[in-house]
Amino acid sequence: MKIRRFVCNAFQENAYVASDGGDCVIVDPGFTEQEIGALYDYLDSEGIVPSAILLTHRHPDHILGLDNILGRFSIPVISAAETGAFPAEPFSGEDGNDSGAAAGKTGLTSKFRIITTPGHTPDSVCFYNEGDHLMFTGDTLFAGTIGRTDLPGGDYDSEIRSIMEKLIFLPGETDIYPGHGPASTIARERMENPFLEPFNEREELDLD
């Protein structure tokens, strides 16, 4: 799977296009009116058409380009608010969380599972692709830190529980693509993230 990152708006928000063949999904489209042309140019140059928009949460910096994109493409929006478009199924992994799969979906949406991760916002979710070892974490988990919880609806204890119970025990080779800043891996966050220090496991970090 090919991942293309766009850094958007004054908050330096990460929007992503995840593509495989002629299909793609757009994750957290924080594009301003001045920036969104770069998205369309990329889609045209790659010869890909989006089949869905994935939203990790609905803070304004993550959805600025949403209406523009929906005006161009008739595609579903998949988020905590649209769980009917992303029906829950039992998670096939071993973490015992409340993940769900894109039941009945085809293409790329069928490869992603939604993991509810309240904390940064009550409706925060992550999108996990087990087969390609990657996850879009929004503002839940960053490289070296976690999402802020001092905004309305934020809750620090919920944030920590979400990460510790649902994310940190995923396979260490899982690449994480956060809503701001650089990418990382689950293994690296186990070792280096100061908010996860009780669970640091240095032997699982592979720097090669």
Q: Give residue 197's pLDDT.
A: 75
Domain ranges of the chain: 2-204
Q: What is the pLDDT of residue 196?
A: 85
Contacts of 204 (CB under 8 A, 6+ apart): 172, 187, 190, 191
pTM attached to this predicted model: 0.85
If DSSP states are collapsed to H, E and C, what string results for 57-98? Answer: CCCHHHHCCHHHHHHHCCCCEECHHHHHHCCCCCCCCCCCCC
Mean pLDDT in order along the chain per 10 residues (208 residues): 97 97 95 98 96 95 97 93 42 38 61 93 94 97 94 93 94 98 96 79 46
Query: Cα(98)–Cα(139) distance, rounded to whole angstroms?
Result: 19
What's the CATH architecture for 2-204? Answer: 4-Layer Sandwich (3.60)
CA dist., res. 135 & res. 1, Å (int): 12
